[in-house]
């Protein structure tokens, strides 16, 4: 099994629908992150969590919310999906002591029509 698992791998949804992307990890890391990748923009941070009781906004959090259900689970929700949220979404984890320890999931390709 992968260290960081994202579900679903691909999703097509309609404008206005609520959708949840899920992430689970077996690394035992406290820190978890959600990024989105867009062509020409690289990866941009949406939300991050340094432990179960800690949730923080990243640079592009508008239109998104997250839930840290447990140390191993971090979900991203789009409350009312819009077409410009079409992107590749990555979940990542890291240990507390260094940025080099980022482990990414394989990504969720989301299309909003």
Partner 1 sequence: DQQVKQNSPSLSVQEGRISILNCDYTNSMFDYFLWYKKYPAEGPTFLISISSIKDKNEDGRFTVFLNKSAKHLSLHIVPSQPGDSAVYFCAASYYNDYKLSFGAGTTVTVRA
> Which residues form the interface with partner 1 (CB under 8 A)?
4, 31, 33, 35, 40-45, 48, 50, 58, 90, 92, 94, 96, 98-102, 104-107
Determine contact, residues 31/94, Cβ cutoff 8 Å. yes
Q: Which is nearer to partner 1, 14 or 46 (CB)?
A: 46
> How far out from the chain centre does Cα 4 lie?
11
Place of tokens 């941009």: 44
| Three-class DSSP category at 74 | strand
Closer Cβ to partner 1, 45 or 55, answer by number? 45
Residue nearer to partner 1 on the CB measure, 17 or 84: 84
């Amino acid at each position: 099994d992968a260290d960081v698992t994202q579900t679903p791998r691909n999703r097509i949804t309609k404008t206005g629908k609520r959708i949840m992307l899920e992430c689970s990890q077996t690394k035992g890391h406290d820190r978890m992150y959600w990024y989105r990748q867009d062509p020409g923009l690289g990866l941009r941070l949406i939300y991050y969590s340094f432990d179960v009781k800690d949730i923080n906004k990243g640079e592009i959090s508008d239109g998104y919310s997250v839930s840290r259900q447990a140390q191993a689970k971090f979900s991203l929700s789009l409350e009312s999906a819009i077409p410009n949220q079409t992107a590749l979404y990555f979940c990542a984890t890291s240990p507390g002591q260094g940025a080099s320890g980022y482990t990414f999931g394989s990504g969720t390709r989301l299309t909003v029509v």
